[in-house]
Amino acid sequence: MRQRPLHPNTRGNLPSELSGLVGRGGELGELARLLESSRLVTVTGVGGVGKSRLVLAAARRVAGRAAEPSDSAPSDSAPEGLREGPQERYCDGVWLAELASVREPELLELTLAEALGLTDHTTRPPRTVLAEHLAGRRLLLVLDGFEQLVEETAALVRELLVRAPGLRVLAAGRRPLALDGEQTFPLAPPDPEEALALLCARAAAADPGFAVTEAGRPVLVELCARLDGLPLALELAAGRLRALSPAQLLARLEDRFALLTGGTRGALPRHRALRTAIGWSHELCTAPERLLWARLSVFAGQFDLDAAEYVCSGPDLPVESVLDLVGELLAQSLLCRVETGAGVRYRMLETVRLYGAGWLESLGDAARLRRRHRDWYTGLATWCELDWFSPRQHEVAALMEAELANLRLALECCLEDPEEVHLGQYLAGTLWFYWAGCGRLTEGRHWLDRALENLPQAGYEGSRLKALWVLGYVAALQGDTVASMSALYECRDGAARTENPVAAAYAVHRLGCLALVSDDMARAGELLGSALERYREAGELNSNVLMCQVELAMALAFQGDLAGALSLCREVRDICEERGERWTKAYALYVLAYAALDAGGTGEARRLLAECVAINHAFRDLVGLVLAVELLALVTVTEGEPAEAAVLQGAAEPMWDGVGLRLFGSGYFNAPRLMCQERAGELLGAERYAACAGHGRALALDELVERALRGPEPKPKPVPPLPRPRTAAGRAAAGYPGSRKPAGSPEGEPAG
């Protein structure tokens, strides 16, 4: 397993703070004290009390202190475990894992791995990967929203804390994890003054004209009291102060309380106060706003406007009205706006979403909306598969990352109905570019295995065949040769039986890949060449087809036919540049760099590999990245920089943990690494080589990529000696040894 960046500039993944925390200074101080003495602290409380906001504020404070330089040495007299400051205790960062949208226990470990920025191409259990990654690190892991998987989360946290002594966990949930050593921090609503300050701050943000008057203050105080000071309830109320006066708001809220309590004005349990506040906010919405709220509850995590318009619109909710209604829900704090790499997106707080989901169930429309949701994301995956072979490739990768929670929900919807399993097979297969091209092999393997548990459905053989060749591809990249061959042979035989030439081409192609990484170059060339012919006959052209051509070029290059390999890869490079394709282009550049180095063109090889490294890193493709780095190390030692080459070699070693066995022990693919080790070792000696490689192993992935792109530091050019003055006076003035000024010569004036 290779970690993503763990250096001072990028230690963690905490989101930026959109609105400041109001009050809670005492709670933040208490949390900091508990984290000093305990490795597991869980903030508990009812929904809407502000658990998530508090733990994020505490995490940001910790991250800020960890980034500060330490100005004093720890005291030797301090108790063991308390001697280090935040700089040492959290030197590997502060990382947030949001679990509210995770429904399947099997995806819990994958979600934590993603939060930590881990990429693993092996078949190792994700729990093992997590534990091994954390074992030697010192960091704070923040877990938010684990209620639906509390038992599974507790078991995972217990194991990670045991296996990673430098790990500390800060969790937020409605109940504790109930683990030994856990410090529970029950969070109460803020005191009346802080509650009033929060209400006024949020009201002013929603309406710049809002102001607190002496006459209006008692009404606002009463409003806070009636809402029991719950932050979520106060924020919902603040959103209403744009349209209603505080007195009008309070009157409507009084009616709502009377309805729920039979007219009793006594203190209410806090869960009822929140239910009251959300229900009251629901009643204040217009009918179209309530309907959109209910329908938006089918989304998991974030969503964009296009998805909301498709899934939620209908005869009773025209598509052209959705944008305005989204704006209204934003203004009322029922939706949050989020800026992401995939553009502007929206999300609904879990408490608000659950209320909408209950309303949708009561309308009897939940099943239909889930199918609409599934259809949208199936269509989105189909379009993204096409767009992968275009200049939008990087945007597609960002979009799939943003939509992962919804893609999971769509896959689950497909697979829970035996009559619609073929849709799950189609969707899991269509996402091949995400599983293989964006470092999601373990996630893809999970869904492909689940989708293929079922027998073929009559009339939908094509969907199953696609899932089979994608499974064969994913398993091959994971190093699971047996599973890969089994899936590919089944796909090949099924394609022949159903006369599906496209599926047959993919099966033959991936069998050729297995031969390639198994060092059977003659068979690889035969199979890959046959696959290319099949692709051409079927009219297929996409990233897979071009990758097949690159892999055929590799087989030729390893057999000594560099001219043939160059011809194939130059054609691939040209097509990729014409279509805007970058992922496959990186592999073509690798082969071109291999040939350039063989011809003595180290400068050209370095230029090609720098671009290759940048592309593979952007797509989280560890296989392509580690191959490029090792070939770059060989280029570096050939250029006369053995120390830098050893650093690159050392940096590549941890990446292999995430890739698995070094490409199945392939002698051809591993040749650059072995050649570099031999040459650099001879030039440096064993001790210095080991030291340089150790420095490389300690580099974070971003640091390695930055170093690889920068290249070795240029050696300073020797300063040429000054020309020897021709006269005695000139030599004396320049300070040459043995020179003296002629007698009677003026200062600075040449003699003779």
Q: Are 692 and 684 in contact (CB under 8 A)?
A: yes
pLDDT in tens, 562-591: 999 999 999 999 999 999 999 999 999 999
Instruction: Find the DSSP H helices in 337-391.
Output: 350-362, 366-387
Q: What is the pLDDT of residue 141?
A: 95
Q: What is the mean pLDDT of residues 260-268?
A: 37
> 167-173 and 139-144 as β-strands: parallel, antiparallel, unpaired?
parallel
Q: 2: which strand partners?
A: 119
Tell me the C-alpha distance between 449 and 445, whole Å: 6
Q: What is the mean pLDDT of residues 237-245?
A: 81
**Number of CB atoms found within 10 A of residue 717's CB:** 6
More confident site: 321 or 1: 321
Residue 171 has pLDDT above 50, yes or no: yes
Closest CA to 652 of 606, 613, 710, 681: 613
Q: Are 97 and 417 in contact (CB under 8 A)?
A: no
Q: What is the pLDDT of residue 63?
A: 83
Tell me the C-alpha distance between 527 and 456, whole Å: 27
Q: 417: which strand partners?
A: none
Residue 244 has pLDDT above 50, yes or no: yes
Q: What is the mean pLDDT of residues 522-530?
A: 96
Tell me the C-alpha distance between 22 and 24, whole Å: 7
Give pTM, 2 decimals.
0.81
The mean of the pLDDT values for the chain is 85
Closest CA to 334 of 146, 143, 175, 206: 206
Residue 650 has pLDDT above 80, yes or no: yes
Instruction: Find the DSSP H helices in 711-743.
Output: 728-733
Q: Are 532 and 572 in contact (CB under 8 A)?
A: no
Q: What is the pLDDT of residue 249?
A: 80
pLDDT in tens, 631-644: 999 999 999 999 99
Q: Are 44 and 186 in contact (CB under 8 A)?
A: yes
Q: What is the mean pLDDT of residues 53-81?
A: 66
pLDDT in tens, 228-237: 888 888 888 8
Q: What is the pLDDT of residue 714?
A: 67
Q: 98: which strand partners?
A: 144
Q: Are 134 and 164 in contact (CB under 8 A)?
A: yes
Q: What is the pLDDT of residue 666?
A: 78
Residue 6 has pLDDT above 80, yes or no: no
Residue 317: phi, psi to the nearest 5?
Answer: -150, 85
Q: Are 46 and 270 in contact (CB under 8 A)?
A: yes
DSSP-derived 3-state class of residue 533: helix
The H helix count followed by the E strand count for the chain is 35, 7
Tokens, residue 736? 């040459």
DSSP-derived secondary structure letter, 38: -
Tell me the C-alpha distance between 650 and 629, whole Å: 10
Q: Are 71 and 29 in contact (CB under 8 A)?
A: no
| Sign of the CA dihedral with 61 first, then 66, 71, and 77 last | positive
- Residue 70's pLDDT band (cuts 50, 70, 90): low
Range with top average pLDDT, 273-282, 331-340, 614-623? 614-623
Distance of CA 416 to the CA centre of its chain: 27
Residue 675 vs residues 635, 636, 645, 662, 680: alpha-carbon distances, Å: 11, 12, 11, 15, 8
- Residue 723's pLDDT band (cuts 50, 70, 90): low
Q: What is the pLDDT of residue 751?
A: 37
Tokens, residue 172? 């937020």
Q: Are 240 and 284 in contact (CB under 8 A)?
A: yes
**Number of CB atoms found within 10 A of residue 442's CB:** 23
Q: What is the pLDDT of residue 623?
A: 87
Tell me the C-alpha distance between 577 and 585, whole Å: 8
DSSP of 174-188: SS----TTPEEEEPP
DSSP-derived secondary structure letter, 149: G
Closest CA to 139 of 166, 115, 171: 166
Q: What is the pLDDT of residue 255?
A: 60
**Number of CB atoms found within 10 A of residue 716's CB:** 6
Tell me the C-alpha distance between 384 and 301, whole Å: 20
Residue 689 vs residues 627, 676, 693, 706: alpha-carbon distances, Å: 20, 11, 6, 21
The share of the chain scoring above pLDDT 70, in percent, equals 86
Q: What is the largest CA-CA distance in the chain?
A: 120
Least confident piece of the model among 126-140, 158-172, 453-467, 658-672: 658-672
Tell me the C-alpha distance between 730 and 736, whole Å: 9
Tell me the C-alpha distance between 78 and 84, whole Å: 9
Range with top average pLDDT, 267-276, 278-287, 607-616, 743-752? 607-616
pLDDT in tens, 375-415: 999 999 999 999 999 999 999 999 999 999 999 999 999 99
Q: How many residues does the chain have?
A: 752
Rg (CA), the chain: 32
pLDDT in tens, 85-114: 666 788 889 999 999 888 888 899 999 998
Q: What is the mean pLDDT of residues 538-556?
A: 96
Spell out a b/e string for 130-161, using b for 16 or more CB atoms within 10 Å of the CB, else e.
Answer: bbebbeebbbbbbbbbbeebeebbbbbbbebb
Q: What is the mean pLDDT of residues 298-322?
A: 95
More confident site: 605 or 622: 605
Tell me the C-alpha distance between 645 and 679, whole Å: 10
Residue 471 has pLDDT above 50, yes or no: yes
Q: What is the pLDDT of residue 312?
A: 97
DSSP-derived secondary structure letter, 662: G
User: Which H/E stretch holds residue 143?
Assistant: strand 139-144
Burial class (CB in 10 A: 0-12, 13-18, 19+), 670: middle
